């Protein structure tokens, strides 16, 4: 797991130096990376003089530059800070010595938590809404963590199949993992009425699960139960908990909707277990991790050749390797092969259909087949945030800008803190750029970089948006980060790999050429 660096909070601002962004509340400011570097040094030494030489070294890496370059950057900093907040003075000039930060107190080592990201949550949807928090692992064995997580994942999947129920995606609820939480706060941040929480204790083949449903608006318990089962009955237990949760929310639920919770599961518990173990590495989207995941997924498929979710995950792994590890034809072909198997065997599995649809669109360039899979996924699970998010990426590269933005926003509403949020912001960035809305494109690209600073494509989007705004120094810095993360990057090969719409390829290509990226 990557450890994030310090995040600094002062007044209404939050500085995330790792991604080079100064935030005013939740919105990124249009402050360049050089000015951000200067601000970081000043607030690290709040109240103390910082010499011109130290600032030039921070902003220009020791290069010889005239003092007026520093003066221009300090003026930009002061203007950004003063325009956003009513504070008399932020940065003091010390004649012939340097500068000093004299603004509000700085809180150092402030992690970028949900509380920092969500000052006010979304409004409640019209239909009943629920979030399932990660269950505590009480087994005394950290190696059983994935089992408890898998149980919650399956309960969420079951609930999401009910059309009248608004269910927050697991990628957002799992951002609360290993944290002491206030259920009322969770309800506000995620915009839901009900919260389901619980614990799992597994010993040998015995499993004890406790679960409770809480009304987040009042904190009152709606329902609670304890279950003692054999691990051989794990799927029946997951269904039982999901059904009890539905019954607590709407006792008059129709039998037809109850039946939607029950769905086809793999015959092999061992195959199911292997997929659970592989899932975090699949979700990482990083070549080294997905290579490791493929070992487990191939074992799962060997045990159960018709396991749709194993095929869907394998398709995403090969897609990642194709785009980020050299555009090798063997990975593209493997992505398509596994995606087609997931569609054949996964007509009852929204997640398998989502992974498969994305791979078919991006690697087989068959967007009609892809959207048939995505629409089938949404028919099964209307609350599938990932389906909307990945669908927005497909639409973005297809040049369907307004629909891409609409799908990305719907995905983020269903999962406000999703680990795939960067992809939704990427879709917004390229779509705004295509429509000539360069400020909006830049803002979305900044959010994408913040959400996933390890992904080269997020910096590509940022470089393009900055170039379109005429901010070429910053665009070139973002372009350098693209090549650092993906040394073999060529934008023409990237566009061909994803079948980029001609108008978007032209707009992005012109901008990336200005930013200095190789074609």
Q: Hey, where are the domains in the chain?
A: 8-107, 119-261, 267-361
Distances from the Cα of 78 to the Cαs of 8, 25, 96, 265, in angstroms?
17, 17, 19, 59
Q: What is the mean pLDDT of the chain?
A: 84
Structure tokens belonging to residue 300: 């799962």
Among residues 153, 177, 156, the alpha carbon closest in space to that of 165 is found at 156
Spatial separation of the C-alpha atoms in residues 303 and 273, rounded to whole Å: 11
Average pLDDT over residues 57-84: 78
Asked if the 8-107 domain carries CATH number 1.10.10.10, the reply is yes
Average pLDDT over residues 29-52: 84
* Homologous superfamily of domain range 119-261: ABC-type transport auxiliary lipoprotein component (3.40.50.10610)
Return the top range by mean pLDDT from 124-128, 417-421, 442-446: 442-446
pLDDT tens, 174-185? 888 887 788 888
> What pLDDT score does 119 carry?
44
241-255 in b/e form (b: 16+ CB < 10 A) is: bbbbbbebbeeebee
Structure tokens belonging to residue 146: 């994935």
Helices 33-44, 472-485: axis angle to 10 degrees equals 80
Instruction: Read off the pLDDT band of 311 (50, 70, 90).
Output: very high
Considering only CA atoms, give the Rg of the chain: 24
Return the top range by mean pLDDT from 142-151, 191-200, 394-403: 394-403
pLDDT at 161 over 90: no
154-189 in b/e form (b: 16+ CB < 10 A) is: bbbbbbbbbeebbbbbbbbbbbbeeeeeebeebbbb
pLDDT at 4 over 50: no
pLDDT at 220 over 90: no
Spatial separation of the C-alpha atoms in residues 254 and 109, rounded to whole Å: 51
Q: Which residues pair with 93 in a beta bridge?
A: 99
pLDDT tens, 469-515? 998 888 888 898 888 888 888 899 889 888 999 999 999 999 999 99
Contacts of 102 (CB under 8 A, 6+ apart): 47, 89, 90, 91, 92
The predicted model scores a pTM of 0.71
* Homologous superfamily of domain range 267-361: Tetratricopeptide repeat domain (1.25.40.10)
Q: Where are the alpha helices (DSSP H) in 114-220?
A: 114-117, 145-160, 170-173, 183-190
Q: Measured between alpha carbons, how far apart are the two ends of the chain, in Å?
A: 33
Return the top range by mean pLDDT from 158-162, 238-242, 282-286, 443-447: 443-447
Spatial separation of the C-alpha atoms in residues 501 and 495, rounded to whole Å: 8
Q: What percent of the chain has pLDDT over 90?
A: 29
> What pLDDT score does 19 carry?
66
> What pLDDT score does 62 carry?
64
> What pLDDT score does 221 carry?
81
Phi, psi of 419 (to 5 degrees): -70, -15
Residue 503 CB-density burial (10 A; 0-12 exposed, 13-18 middle, 19+ buried): exposed
Give the 3-state secondary structure of residue 364. coil
Instruction: Read off the pLDDT band of 129 (50, 70, 90).
Output: confident
pLDDT tens, 339-387? 999 999 998 888 899 999 999 999 999 999 999 999 999 998 888 889 9
Distances from the Cα of 146 to the Cαs of 140, 229, 233, in angstroms?
13, 18, 17
> What pLDDT score does 124 carry?
81
User: Helix count (H) and strand count (E) of the chain?
Assistant: 23, 14
**Contact of 91 with 74, CB cutoff 8 Å:** yes
Among residues 147, 168, 178, the alpha carbon closest in space to that of 1 is found at 178
């Amino acid at each position: 797991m990557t450890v994030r660096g310090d995040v600094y909070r002062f007044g209404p601002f939050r500085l995330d130096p790792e991604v080079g962004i100064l935030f005013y509340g939740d919105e990124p400011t249009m402050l360049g990376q050089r000015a951000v570097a200067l601000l970081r040094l000043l607030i690290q030494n709040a109240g103390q003089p910082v010499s011109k030489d130290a600032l030039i070294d921070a902003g220009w890496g020791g290069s010889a530059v005239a003092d007026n370059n520093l003066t221009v950057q300090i003026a930009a900093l002061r203007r950004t800070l003063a325009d956003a907040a009513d504070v008399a003075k932020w940065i003091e000039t010390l004649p012939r010595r340097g500068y000093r930060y004299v603004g509000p107190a700085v809180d150092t080592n402030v992690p970028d938590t949900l509380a920092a990201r969500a000052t006010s949550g979304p409004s409640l949807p019209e239909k009943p809404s629920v979030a399932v928090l990660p269950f505590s692992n009480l087994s005394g064995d950290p190696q059983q963590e994935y089992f408890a997580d898998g149980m919650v994942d399956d309960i969420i999947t079951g609930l999401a199949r009910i059309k009248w129920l608004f269910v927050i995606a697991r990628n957002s609820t799992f951002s609360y993992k290993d944290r002491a939480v206030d259920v009322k706060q969770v309800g506000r941040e995620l915009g839901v009425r009900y919260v389901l929480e619980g614990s799992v204790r597994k010993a040998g083949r015995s499993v004890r699960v406790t679960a409770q449903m809480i009304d987040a608006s009042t904190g009152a318990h709606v329902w609670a139960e304890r279950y003692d089962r054999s691990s051989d009955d794990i799927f029946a237990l997951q269904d039982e908990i999901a059904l009890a949760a539905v019954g607590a929310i709407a006792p008059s639920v129709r039998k037809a909707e109850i039946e939607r919770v029950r769905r086809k599961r793999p015959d092999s518990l061992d195959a199911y277990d292997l997929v659970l173990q592989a899932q975090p590495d699949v979700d990482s989207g990083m070549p080294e991790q997905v290579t490791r995941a493929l070992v487990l997924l191939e074992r799962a498929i060997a045990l159960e050749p018709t396991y749709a979710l194993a095929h869907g995950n394998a398709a995403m792994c090969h897609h990642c390797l194709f785009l980020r590890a050299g555009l090798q034809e063997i990975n593209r072909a493997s992505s398509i092969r596994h995606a087609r198997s997931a569609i054949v065997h996964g007509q009852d599995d929204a997640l398998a259909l989502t992974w498969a649809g994305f791979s078919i669109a991006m690697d087989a360039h068959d967007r009609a087949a892809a959207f048939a899979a995505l629409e089938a996924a949404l028919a099964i699970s209307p609350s599938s945030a990932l389906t909307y998010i990945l669908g927005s990426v497909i639409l973005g590269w297809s040049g369907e800008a307004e629909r891409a933005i609409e799908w990305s926003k719907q995905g983020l509403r269903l999962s406000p803190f999703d680990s795939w949020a960067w992809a939704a912001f990427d879709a917004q960035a390229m779509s705004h750029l295509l429509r000539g809305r360069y400020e909006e494109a830049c803002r979305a690209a900044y959010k994408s970089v913040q959400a996933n600073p390890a992904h080269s494509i997020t910096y590509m989007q940022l470089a393009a948006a900055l170039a379109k705004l005429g901010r070429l120094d910053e665009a070139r810095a973002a372009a350098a980060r693209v090549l650092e993360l993906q040394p073999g990057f060529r934008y023409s090969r990237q566009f061909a790999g994803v079948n980029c719409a001609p108008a978007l390829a032209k707009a992005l290509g012109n901008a990336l050429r200005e930013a200095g990226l190789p074609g």
